[in-house]
Chain A
Amino acid sequence: MNELSIVMHLLSRRINKYQLGATKEEICEILNISGKHQTSLFNQLIINLSNYLKVLGLNIRYNSIDSHWYVSYDPEISDIVKANPFEDKPRLAASLFTILISCISNLGSTNISEIAKLRKKKGILSDLRELEKSGYINLDSDSGEVCLTPLVGYELDINHLLTNLALKMKDED
């Protein structure tokens, strides 16, 4: 057993329904990495492990929603491993997208009425319940508040999605 095998374990574990991997602080504490060069040593560790994993079709990623590092399959093989959970459910993808945009515009959370207003579709509540069941959102039935869970940050490259949107809008302008 060496440092890389411990980091591999930490980055490939599921913590709970919404979280995976480990934070930099957790990794440094377990491996007893501290002091002036903590960040450099940590980065080196991640880079080394990443180089080993690359040939296996795996990547190390960072979820900025909850500051966790984790391991994912290489995007090039995402089709093989069926990464898209809404393969035949564009309606759910559209609802999740609406929640995401609404959360970005409202500093992190939104509500059912706002989503319904933007979506202009019937049965939005059942979409929200299904997304909640999948673990992507938290839904407060009493207050109507809707917020994204960290799981979205693990399974969705939000920057890439927003870039796709920006490019689409640019093409339409």
Chain B
Amino acid sequence: MPDSIILPQEIRDQLIEIKEAILAGKISLLKLELTPIFQKIIESVSPSNIFQYSPLYKETNDILYQKFEELKKLLIRMNSEQRYIQFLKNIPADSEIAKLFEDCWVKPFQIESLSVDFLKESKMKLLAKHAEPISIKELSKVDSKEQFILEIPKQKFTEKMNHYFASIKDKLPCYLEDIFNNETDQLLIYEHFIYLLHLLQLGTIKYQKETNTLYV
């Protein structure tokens, strides 16, 4: 065992530091020495803490794997530019070059209809308090002995209109608003106004716009 006890958290912090430095471009994977970390793991691991060290060992191996990948890329690229040009100068067939592209094409995935605004709106809708839905209840049937007959007017329209004309005939000529002077029931005013329009249309009553006067 080493003189000072190394805690798994210390190694974890060191690995996080290394990963961040690699991603930030501060250190190169190819220059990174991984042996001291593996050494620390070996020195401090014991049957009692093996479960804590297992993920650390895996993480260190992942970095080692990345280092091998970098090395592979470096070897491929070393002095390769001129070799690539040489390959082209040998005039390879188009089909031969096209074959090199096998398994190299990548299909990007796009969702153009999805936007941040749409997501925000969806979120607001989800969070919004929903009003109680209107409940539709089935009406209970009630047996009734009464008979419901559709009410129809006792007089025909023309009869009612002529009757109305007879009732206002003596007032004419008069101002339009004077015809309705004594009427307070809005429905009745509306009904009489309809008769008046028809009487105007038929020419039974005439209207002079300039003086606002109805006359026969």
Contacts and interface: CB of A to CB of B under 8 A. Distances in A.
Interface string A137-173: 0000000000000000011111111111110110000
10 contacts: A9-B111, A39-B19, A43-B19, A58-B109, A70-B108, A70-B109, A90-B98, A164-B101, A166-B80, A169-B83
B208 to A, nearest CB: 70
Given A93-B98, A156-B104, 4 more contacts: A12-B111, A70-B109, A161-B100, A165-B100
Contacts of A105: 81-82, 84-85
A2 to B, nearest CB: 9
B87 interface: yes
Interface in A37-59: 39-40, 43, 58
A9 B110 contact: no
B115 A9 contact: yes
Given A5-B119, A9-B115, A12-B114, A72 B102 contact: no
Interface string B90-106: 01101101101111111
B101 A161 contact: yes
Contacts of B89: 118
Contacts of B73: 159
Interface of A: 1, 5-6, 8-9, 12-14, 20, 30, 39-40, 43, 58, 61, 70-73, 75, 78, 81-86, 90-91, 93-94, 97-98, 101-102, 104-105, 118-120, 154-166, 168-169
A9 B88 contact: no
A169 B102 CA distance: 16
Contacts of A86: 98, 101
Interface in B39-93: 73, 76-77, 80-85, 87-89, 91-92
Interface centre among B91, B102, B106, B120 (most CB of A within 10 A): B106
A163 B106 contact: no
Interface centre among B95, B97, B108 (most CB of A within 10 A): B108
